[in-house]
Amino acid sequence: MNKKTIWITGGSTGIGKALAIKFANEGWNVAISARRENLLDEIADNHENISPFPLDVTDKSKCKEVFEKIKNKFENIDICFFSTGTWNPKKERDIDVEQIEEVFKINFFGTLNAIKAVEEYFKKKKSGTITIVSSIAGYRGLPNSTGYGPSKSALNNLAESLYFDFKRSNVRVCLVSPGFIKTPMTDKNDFKMPFLKTTEYAAEKIYDGLVNKKTFEIHFPKSLTLVLKIFSFLPSKIYFALVTKMTKYQKKN
């Protein structure tokens, strides 16, 4: 029986790396992409089923070129997992237009470039899964998040829009909304992160959601995400008061 194949962007560190290892250990072929080729090579050298495909997702033509290489190597692609992202909390406190443009260029348009590269393939194949990694920060506006939160909110809307478009071709679009996961990116945070989990925890949840379940959104840990989902339905006045109170508490502690 032929092995199934997954392509993961943002695969050199964090959730992407942990998920690559999880799928490889489950017997899948894994293609990993990121800008830092040395990190990709290191992961591939230590895991038989993982192959590196260096890529800067902000380069549209390179996204198409790399996907062609992956297709040529594996022929059949079952899942695409697009998890490229950036976050700089120090530059999110003010309206830094250049920084916000850069965040959107990577988080939103980088993801969009990757999706565009695989669109025709999946629509012709009429099966498979395209996965967009967002964040709980995309549910509603948060303090000190002038670029990251809005970029993730845009991804949420994009995933819902694409759900309808790809469903006509029998292709699943899946949204992943992690809570606080310990990664090099969240290590930059200067506040206490509730329900902080490991990348291995995230990989287990995502693998189960992609392989064993058919829901649109995979979100975790539920103890945090379900509360935030309730927050998303609250009237603005109540929501603003609650978040203000919580952030004041965080500063004191």
Given a cut of 50, whether residue 236 has pLDDT beyond it is yes
* Residue 142 Cα distances to 133, 145, 235, 241, angstroms: 18, 6, 15, 12
Pick the more confident residue, 93 or 78: 78
Given a cut of 50, whether residue 71 has pLDDT beyond it is yes
Domains in the chain: how many in total?
1
Comparing C-alpha atoms, which of 27, 78, 70 is closest to residue 51? Answer: 70
Assigned token pair, 95? 């309206």
Comparing C-alpha atoms, which of 85, 87, 107, 102 is closest to residue 187? Answer: 87
Q: What's 42's domain CATH number?
A: 3.40.50.720
3-state secondary structure of 187: helix
Band (248; pLDDT cuts 50, 70, 90): low
239-248: long-range contacts (C-beta < 8 A, 24 or more apart)? 239/140, 243/142, 243/143, 247/143
pLDDT in tens, 17-66: 999 999 999 999 999 999 999 999 999 999 999 999 999 999 999 999 99
**Which structural domain range is residue 18 located in?**
5-252
pLDDT in tens, 90-136: 788 889 999 999 999 999 999 999 999 999 999 999 999 999 999 99
Which residues are designated catalytic?
148
